[in-house]
Amino acid sequence: MRSRWITAWVLALASCGSPRSPSALASAKPELLSPADLLPNDLDFVIRVDSERVGQIPVFAEAARELAKTNTSPLLRAVAPAVGGSSAIFVGGRLMADGFRGDGVVAIEQGVSADDKRQAAPVGPAFRPLADSPPHTSVFERPAAERDEPVLEVVLETRGLVLATPAEADAVLRVLRAGPDRDRLVPPVRGLVSFAGKVRGTRGPAGLSSVWQGLADGLVQYMGSVEADDAFRVEADLTYASAAQAESAVKAASGKVERLGLFGPAFRSMADSVRLTQNGQAIRVRATVPFAIVATLH
């Protein structure tokens, strides 16, 4: 149950106007080496899943198959067939003012030999190919549908594919035309899951637990990873607008961590594992989350 929960949690993050004319697409830059290069810089967070490792863990793979049978988001259903055999999955999204999290981009890196070409086919019958796609690239689009449905598909030969919802389709085409954004979010390549995000205005990062709400005030960006062995091991680096706000965040979070032990032995174990280290405007967070805690969230 606990392994099914974490797989569902990772994949569910994918649920978070029509693309422009393709006339300028032929000028795409050759430095597009990976589907993740097409992630635009307007995303608030990007999560990387090491799907090659997940696929090697039978219980995780089975949980993913079961999840695919459920009533998941249109974006997730569209990418499900391409997940098998992938090496990594990137899920990027924006936090909307109305709380909606369905706008986003999914990039799937192909996990096969570079000599093998991915079939350039649309993910749905409503998609139509664009005639002026760049070399070794196939672009498909369909009229704008629901907010969380993919309207753009980019297939990079031997590399993988990218799907985008209406809010991000124009941005993906811009990157395809001009080359990767230098300031785009890039999660570290480590752990079963890694993540990177930035906070605009007063909004906090996606899915922040109330336990860690004290860390949100003044936060401007974050990056980290999650490893899974006998428990979930979390490491994150948080950057604040000022050293004073970082210090305040450490104090606020420390008090809440101390109270975790009141909820039982598993929470006490987690509280004892938390380490908050401040260095100027930056805080490094380390924590171990027992599977018993995750199971209660299923």
Residue 13: what pLDDT? 43
Distance, in Å, from the CA atom of 232 to the CA atom of 146, rounded to the nearest integer, reads 35
Cα–Cα distances in angstroms (integers) from residue 97 to residues 46, 47, 53, in the given order: 18, 21, 35
Q: Which pairs from 148-151 meet CB under 8 Å and 24+ separation?
A: 148/15, 148/16, 148/73, 148/74, 148/75, 148/100, 148/102, 148/103, 149/74, 149/75, 149/78, 150/74, 150/75, 150/78, 150/106, 150/123, 150/124, 151/18, 151/19
pTM of the model: 0.81
Nearest in space to 9 (alpha carbons), one of 237, 173, 206: 206
Q: Which residues of the chain fall short of a pLDDT of 50?
A: 1-20, 22, 114-115, 202-208, 298
Residue 224: what pLDDT? 96
